[in-house]
Amino acid sequence: MSIRYISQKLAQQIDEELMSTAGAFSLDQLMELAGLSCAQALAKSYPVQSHKRVMVACGPGNQGGDGLVAARHLHHFSYQPTIYLPKPGSKDIYKRLLKQCENLDIKVISDVDGFKTGLRESDVILDAIFGFSFEPPLRAPFDQVLKAITATSLPIVSVDIPSGWSVTKGSQPLYTKPDDGGEPEKIETFTPDVLVSLTAPKEGVREFKGRHWLGGRFVPDALAKEFELNIPPYEGVDQVVELPQA
């Protein structure tokens, strides 16, 4: 039985079940384990000896929270992460996760120019901008951010769904929605080298050809069975398992 690629709706439903009274998980717990998975997948793909400087690009939602957790663990794994966080999420948890990173003296950048400069001093990008809730069009400053990532030759590790891709259809024509009401611009999406799917891969990455990790070793067996996720066995104490390449 091969692994199931799940819809945006099912991904939302699984998260809701895990955090329901019945599922009993807190967002703090799930985000900690998800972010740890991302850090482990990056470390297994790009060793610290050759890829010490990691640009962790964080969006304003849960995906960005995973990025903040990953940045902290990468620091403890001896990497030198830099966080790009243009729009900090408003929930208390994001503020705490950011503070935890600041307490480790991890550099935090909020402007696009700083991000572009930072990319020139990085060895690998962790893309935690948009998650499975993303809906186009693309708004500032993320149009500039996606362009900058596409323009670099750095290896890219994307979390859950490459930022800018359709959760359902994958890489699709993507347009901006300028704040000044001007003409939409077509943006070229990037294809990451490595993907870390959380809980289960999403429909949009079915054709993804790079190295593909699955993280989130917390899905209860009953839930995996109910939704026929067909999660492959993890090894040892790993928080990620590599999926066969498409």
What's the min distance (Å) between Cβ of 74 and a second copy?
10
Give the residue ranges of the annotated binding site for (6S)-NADPHX.
Answer: 62-66, 131-137, 160
186 forms bridges with which residues in the sheet?
175
Interface with a second copy in residues 203-242 (CB under 8 A): 217-218, 220-222, 233-234, 236-237, 239
127 forms bridges with which residues in the sheet?
57, 158
Query: What are the two backbone dihedrals, phi and then psi, of residue 55, each rounded to the nearest 5 degrees?
Result: -90, 115
- Region of 2-10, 103-111, 126-134, 151-159 interacting with a second copy (CB under 8 A): 103-111
CA distance 68 to 99: 10
State yes or no: residue 90 binds a second copy (CB under 8 A): no
CA distance 67 to 84: 10
State yes or no: residue 50 binds a second copy (CB under 8 A): no
State yes or no: residue 32 binds a second copy (CB under 8 A): yes
- Choice from 96, 169, 206, 225 touching a second copy (CB under 8 A): 96
Query: What are the two backbone dihedrals, phi and then psi, of residue 9, each rounded to the nearest 5 degrees?
Result: -65, -45
Give, in order, the Cα–Cα distances in Å from 36 to each of 12, 75, 149: 20, 11, 23
- Between residues 182 and 236, which has the closer beta carbon with respect to a second copy? 236
State yes or no: residue 103 binds a second copy (CB under 8 A): yes
Edge-first strand listing for the sheet containing 211-215: 107-109, 80-84, 53-58, 124-128, 156-159, 194-198, 211-215, 240-243
- Between residues 205 and 243, which has the closer beta carbon with respect to a second copy? 243
The binding site for a second copy (CB under 8 A) comprises: 22-26, 28-29, 32-33, 39-40, 43-44, 72-73, 76-78, 93, 95-97, 99-100, 103-105, 217-218, 220-222, 233-234, 236-237, 239
